[in-house]
Amino acid sequence: MGRPKVPLIDRDEAIAKALELIDLDGIEAFSIRKLGGALGVNGASLYHHFKDKDEILHGVRLLILREARVFLPASKNATWQDYVAKSVTRYRAALLAHPNAAPLMTPGRMRPIGLAHRDHLVTKMLKDGVPPHYCYPIIDSVETLGFGSALFNPQQLPPGQRFAPLPLDELPGLDLAVRSAFRTADRLFRLELQALLEGWTALIDREGRCVLSGGRLPATRARTRGCRAADLGQVRPCPGGARAPDMTPPPARHGKRHRCPTAGRATRQPHTGAKGNR
Where do you find CATH 1.10.357.10 in the chain? 69-232
Q: What digits encode the pLDDT tens for the residues 119-150?
A: 888 999 999 999 999 999 999 999 999 999 99
Where do you find CATH 1.10.10.60 in the chain? 7-68
Q: Looking at per-residue confidence, does 194 or 259 come out higher?
A: 194
pLDDT at 1: 42
pLDDT (average), residues 166-183: 82
| pLDDT greater than 60 at residue 42 | yes
Q: What digits encode the pLDDT tens for the residues 200-211?
A: 999 999 988 876
The single-letter DSSP state of residue 43 is G
Query: Which of the four CATH numbers 3.20.20.140, 3.40.50.300, 3.90.700.10, 1.10.10.60 does domain 7-68 have?
Result: 1.10.10.60
Q: What digits encode the pLDDT tens for the residues 17-32?
A: 999 999 999 999 999 9
Cα angle: 215, vertex 260, 212; to 5 degrees: 15
CA 207 to chain centre: 19
What pTM did the predictor assign?
Answer: 0.67
Inter-axis angle of helices 32-39 and 11-25, nearest 10:
110
pLDDT at 210: 74
pLDDT at 278: 43
Q: What digits encode the pLDDT tens for the residues 235-277?
A: 333 333 333 334 444 454 444 444 444 444 444 445 555 444 4
SS3 content of the chain, % helix, strand, coil (to 5): 55, 0, 40
User: 69-232, what's its fold?
Assistant: Tetracycline Repressor; domain 2 (1.10.357)
Q: What is the mean pLDDT of the chain?
A: 77
| pLDDT greater than 50 at residue 16 | yes
Dist. CA 271–CA 273, nearest whole Å: 6
Dist. CA 149–CA 95, nearest whole Å: 10
Out of 68-72, 84-88, 227-231, the most confident range is: 84-88
Looking from the CA of 195 toward its CB, the CA atoms found within 13 Å total 7
